[in-house]
Amino acid sequence: MPTVEVADLKDGDFLLDVREDEEWQAGHAAGALHIPMSEFVARYGELTGAAPQDGRVNVICRSGARSAQVTNHLVQQGIDAVNVAGGMQMWEAAGRPVVTDEGVPGFVA
């Protein structure tokens, strides 16, 4: 499965967060698109409408397990997608900002 390290992501890279609502509300990467894995099939059109046409979709969850499943699905659909290794836990550990919807510092739940 295609994977990317948090350190290799640049500001402005497209990020799809597939964690559930409670996890997202605790804290997330600013600018990420949030579509919970449990709603992914029903909301797939939101991703195709928001994702860059010629760019990569970086998929993230808490630890990398759920995002790996979504990444595999996207790759099967012909989308350039990669799993973010270590998920939001690694994102936070790398010192990347974690914010709430209000823009204040959050945490990874």
Residues catalogued as catalytic: 61
Alpha-carbon separation of residue 75 from 1, 23, 56, 72 (angstroms): 9, 25, 11, 5
Residue carrying the six token digits 């990874």: 108
Question: Can you tell me whether residue 93 is helix, strand or coil?
Answer: helix
Q: Give, as one character, the DSSP assignment of residue 47.
A: H
C-beta separation of 2 from 82 below 8 A: yes
Nearest to 64 by CA among 44, 88, 81, 41: 88
